[in-house]
Amino acid sequence: MDHVAIWAVVESKPGKEDEVEAFLKSAQSLAEREPETTSWYAVRIGPSKFGIFDTFPDERCGKNWSVEVWNFRYVSGRKRAGGAPDG
């Protein structure tokens, strides 16, 4: 039974929608190979809005979720001039 779930939503910058969609499609196979990830879903919520939903058995297993979210936000074009994702 899973006890931890992560829901991350991001809106891409104009013109980055296809890049975000391609990133999410490529990330699916990576998520399926992660033994700690029980389930992983990516959805397109609107023309430029996307989401990732992951579930994990416990907090220890979900510890890398922040890396996934950072990568997701970076690819979506939501980054500051210094390269860090926006809040």
Quote the pLDDT of residue 42. 92
Quote the pLDDT of residue 8. 83
Quote the pLDDT of residue 65. 60
Quote the pLDDT of residue 86. 47
The segments of the chain whose pLDDT lies below 70 read 61-87
Quote the pLDDT of residue 66. 54
Q: In the CATH hierarchy, which top-level class contains the domain 4-75?
A: alpha beta
Quote the pLDDT of residue 4. 86
pTM of the predicted model as reported, rounded to 2 decimal places:
0.69
Taking every pair of Cα atoms in the chain, the longest distance, rounded to a whole number of angstroms, is 41
